Structure 1
């Protein structure tokens, strides 16, 4: 099964983080959550999250995908971390998936991974005048090659299901979705 890294930064959007982790694990995908330091993560609405490990401990681990939860403060903390930029560029260069939701596509943009790509994000997180080489699309989820982006908390389930489909196929995505009793 594929292995996915979900870095958890202080101020991340808990609905997005937990939805991603939960749904990918329902698909039997190995998900490793890593804090930027040894501390529990206080998410944007005050929910405390306990990462599986720290980012330092997984820097040399192989991953099939890295997924960045959003939340403005969380995305800013991820963006300030050189290790995150290094991992994103490394996975991208290896032909692996990079994904981000809400405000976190700004991290992908600042790492240079959205240049000449289609992407989406939380409204006004990426301003066209600041990032003229990115084609911003108003859609719940946008896939451009191995880069997957999404809009925000309301699209977290669609985003996570799309990540499942990309990693393990449509059949498993449909099995997970059926178990969620989502309306069609």
Structure 2
């Protein structure tokens, strides 16, 4: 069974965090949600999320993938946390997946993990990142690094993560009951 860590920080983007956690769990992936500190995490729109554990409780565990939700405030807190940098570097050094959406790819850049890579993010968050090949697409997979643009791409991001961990068939099985529109949504 795949084992995934989703660290949560105050100010995270709840739509991204919950979408990733929910869809990965629908695929029977073992998702560990870890708060940077004890207690509930207040997300960017005021939704309160309750982590499974604290980050300190899982620092020595191995994960097949680490996924960072965005949100400007949450990403800034993840970026400032040296434990996150250590986990991400260890993950990259051992050839395992790292993924980030919205503002969180800047955390990967700060950890020195994006140079020479194709990436995407919420516009503006990687403007200072050196040596990246920025793409304006929903999801970019470059080797073991996965990045995505923002809340509107969270479903595509999560489904791509499932495909990477379990294969396309598993991703399609999770996607089918979601009833995603085949045609472009028309606003009325």
Normalising by structure 2, report the TM-score.
Answer: 0.96
SS of the aligned residue for 2:32 comes to: strand
Aligned match for 2:170, one of 141, 149, 172: 172
Which residue does 1:42 correspond to in 2? 42
Please state how far the C-alpha of 1:179 moved relative to its aligned partner. 1.3
Which residue does 2:18 correspond to in 1? 18
Within 1, Cα distance between the matches of 2:141 and 2:166?
A: 16
Within 2, Cα distance between the matches of 1:14 and 1:132?
A: 29
Within 2, Cα distance between the matches of 1:78 and 1:157?
A: 22
Within 2, Cα distance between the matches of 1:29 and 1:131?
A: 32
1:25-64: CA deviation from partner (whole Å, max 9, x where unpaired) = 0000000000000021000000000000000000011100
SS of the aligned residue for 2:124 comes to: coil
1:93-118: CA deviation from partner (whole Å, max 9, x where unpaired) = 10000000000000000101101000
Which residue does 2:67 correspond to in 1? 67
Which residue does 1:78 correspond to in 2? 78
Normalising by structure 1, report the TM-score.
Answer: 0.98
Please state how far the C-alpha of 1:183 moved relative to its aligned partner. 1.8
Please state how far the C-alpha of 1:132 moved relative to its aligned partner. 2.9
Report whether the alignment pairs 1:30 with 2:30: yes
Which residue does 1:91 correspond to in 2? 91
Query: 1:112-123 counterparts in 2 under 5 A?
Result: 112-123=112-123
Within 2, Cα distance between the matches of 1:116 and 1:126?
A: 13
- List runs of 5+ in structure 2 lacking aligned partners: 183-188
Within 1, Cα distance between the matches of 2:110 and 2:48?
A: 28
Which residue does 1:58 correspond to in 2? 58
Within 1, Cα distance between the matches of 2:57 and 2:177?
A: 34
SS of the aligned residue for 1:56 comes to: helix
Within 2, Cα distance between the matches of 1:131 and 1:76?
A: 15
Which residue does 1:159 correspond to in 2? 157
Within 2, Cα distance between the matches of 1:132 and 1:92?
A: 18
Equivalent residues, number? 182
Please state how far the C-alpha of 1:119 moved relative to its aligned partner. 0.2
Which residue does 1:147 correspond to in 2? 145
SS of the aligned residue for 2:33 comes to: strand
